[in-house]
Amino acid sequence: MARELIKLRWQVDKKQFAEISEIYVSTGNAAKKMKDLFTRIVPLISQAVKNHFVKQKGYTGAWQKLSPEYASWKNENYPGRLILQLRRNLINAATQKGAYGNITEISNKSFEYGVDLNKIPYARIHDMGGRAGRGRRSQMPKREFMFLDKKEVDEVGHEAARFVWDENVSARGAVGGGTMPWGGLTGGVSQLSRIIGM
């Protein structure tokens, strides 16, 4: 069975990789450093996704409230649990590396971060909304959680640029000087994509 997932992915293009490679031309560590970069920014992405669960807010606005009947049942049986956190399987899969259903794959040129839909199949319907349940009789509201808003993309881009800058200075044995690559990586991070499906 093919793995289905909802994920965020960043693929480094040839130009970016060449720029990184130029920084490490003397050591030949560009590929390893890209992996180090991705390892450094994935926790920022994880925290951003966790914040969406805590704030109960998607890319397009606040999550729809629970129906009064379900809210009452949930409060009685699972007091204090927020929306999409009944048993906490979904939030754990979406925010904790190594949790059941989490996908955190980092290579030398890309990373993928998300939820394996073969393990947490209801993640898609909660993130996108749509018909669900027996006979697909229930209409589930869209409650997006697997995304980065502009501020979060900027934060990831800043951290990525800071990493590259620090490594550049270190590789050249210099202190300061030069320019920050990719204008703060905004071009690179704009290639961070949200993928739903296979």
Query: Where does 84-144 have alpha helices with state H?
Result: 89-95, 123-128
Kindly tell me if the per-residue pLDDT of 48 is higher than 80.
Answer: yes
The pLDDT value recorded for residue 124 is 92
130 HSE (CA, 13 A, CB side): 10
| Average predicted confidence (pLDDT) for the chain | 80
Cα 79-80-82 angle, rounded to 5 deg: 120
- Percentage above 90 pLDDT, the chain: 44
- Nearest Cα residue to 93 out of 110, 125, 124, 116: 116
Composition of the chain by helix, strand, coil, percent to 5: 45, 15, 35
The pLDDT value recorded for residue 104 is 94
- Percentage above 70 pLDDT, the chain: 71
**48 vs 34: CA distance, rounded Å:** 21
Kindly tell me if the per-residue pLDDT of 38 is higher than 50.
Answer: yes
> What is the SS3 assignment for 180?
coil
Residue 124 phi, psi dihedral angles, 5° rounding: -65, -45
- Mean pLDDT across 160-175: 67
| Structural contact between residues 89 and 120, judged by C-beta atoms closer than 8 angstroms | yes
**192 vs 11: CA distance, rounded Å:** 7
| pTM, to two decimals | 0.79
The pLDDT value recorded for residue 183 is 41
- Mean pLDDT across 55-67: 94
- Mean pLDDT across 171-195: 48
Give 191 or 107, the one with higher predicted confidence: 107
pLDDT, tens digit (0-9, with 9 covering 90-100), for 87-114: 999 999 999 999 999 999 998 878 889 9
The pLDDT value recorded for residue 36 is 86
- What does the domain layout of the chain look like in residue ranges? 5-197
The pLDDT value recorded for residue 87 is 94
| Structural contact between residues 162 and 153, judged by C-beta atoms closer than 8 angstroms | no
pLDDT band of 18, cuts 50, 70, 90:
low
Lowest mean pLDDT among 22-26, 56-60, 66-70: 22-26
